Amino acid sequence: MKYELTQEIKSFNGLKLRRIKALKDFNGIKAGTLGGWIEKEENLSQSGSAWVYDNAKVSGSAEVFGNAKVSGNAKVSGSAEVFGSAWVYDNAWVSGSAEVFGSAWVSGSAEVYDNAKVPGSAEVFGDAKVSKLVYTSNYKYRLTLTDNHIKYGCIQKTIQEWKEWLEGTEEFETKRNDPSFKIIKMSLELAIQQSELVQALD
């Protein structure tokens, strides 16, 4: 066993969660280190290096396993799964039957819920909401499309804001007369089309 449930209790959504304590050294965590809060042992695998840190909470039938991390004030609930090398942190909330996996990050006040899947190297942050499959691409910069936002490189905007940017003259690092701007424009237009297609199918 790599951890135990302590007698320290915290209430969350009508549930009793207990703080965890490491029983051995692993992945930079020392034996005796206090972690976050889980409802029951099934919420956090005893194998691998997965860990719940800080004031993070895992409850219900949710599972954190593999090398995944949940930290800060993040919450994982319902029957959600966080696995692989995924990281959920800040005030993010993963719920429902959502899955966050690969090396994906969910942070800020982002919400991932229903049957959403956040795979690979996707980054969902800010006030983004994801209830479906996140679309990712990596032509010139990494692009992540959620229900209401597109993050391209280090810049995140709503889908409407990106539409207005494409029609405008504002420039970032890559100038609009640069040949590689065509790749940026194509990537964003494809992501917007993907979003409109998914919404039309709902």
How does pLDDT run along the chain (202 residues), one tens digit per residue? 999 999 999 999 999 999 999 999 999 999 999 999 999 999 999 999 999 999 999 999 999 999 999 999 999 999 999 999 999 999 999 999 999 999 999 999 999 999 998 988 888 988 888 888 777 777 678 888 888 888 888 899 999 999 999 999 999 888 999 888 988 898 899 889 888 887 776 6
pLDDT tens, residue by residue, 130-159: 888 777 777 678 888 888 888 888 899 999
Q: Compute CA distances 155 → 86, 94, 107, 172, whole Å.
A: 21, 23, 15, 9
Amino acid identity for residue 73 in this structure = N
d(CA 179, CA 162): 20
Distance CA 151, CA 127 (A): 12
Interatomic CA distance for residues 36 and 22, integer angstroms: 11
pLDDT of 202:
63
Judge whether 24 and 2 are in contact, CB under 8 Å. yes
Question: CATH 2.160.10 occupies which residues in the chain?
Answer: 3-130
The CATH number that domain 3-130 falls under is 2.160.10
**pLDDT reported for residue 132:** 80
At residue 139, φ and ψ (nearest 5 deg) are -75, -75
How far does the chain reach from its first CA to its final CA, in angstroms? 45
